[in-house]
Structure 1
Amino acid sequence: MAAVRVVSEVPLASGKGDLFEAFVRVLPFRFMPLWLQLTVLGAIVAIVVTAWSIMRTRKIAARRAAREKADMTADVTVGVKPEG
């Protein structure tokens, strides 16, 4: 009996991986080793996500403060003493 050899035509890398590799190669610090490029890229992504998170948290806090101020103003307008 002869062994049947199955040839898979599935690519080993995805399109996203190819895009990521192309992006890393375009970076201005191509002279650095790949591990350092990826570390710097990861640090940049972490900084962007942290800045977005802080901005979002402050925006939520500002909305909450404005809502509480509006509630206190409404209580005073109606003649109800605010608690606290």
Structure 2
Amino acid sequence: MADQELVPGPGQPAAEQLTWPEIEEHRDYIKQLLETTTGTTIHQCLRDEQKLKASLASFRRWVQREPAGRGGPLEGHGAAG
């Protein structure tokens, strides 16, 4: 039982935030690409080219929740895909 308490489950903020700093490193790149590219494609590029370890689900949650400066969530045309 102690192991279950130490390991956050999916969807828990602590679990998501473990990978968010890694995604945050690419904020400007992500923000730029979201104007014309789907989130799935951006994640794939980051995974293949930058060795991003965060899952697609974590990446999508980050995109939906992270503010883009003053303008609100980092969502563009391709954010959902």
Q: From the CA coordinates, give the structure whose radius of gyration is larger.
A: 1
- Structure having greater relative contact order (Cα 8 Å, sep ≥ 6): 2
Question: TM-score, normalised on structure 2?
Answer: 0.31
Determine which structure has the larger helix proportion and give its number. Answer: 1
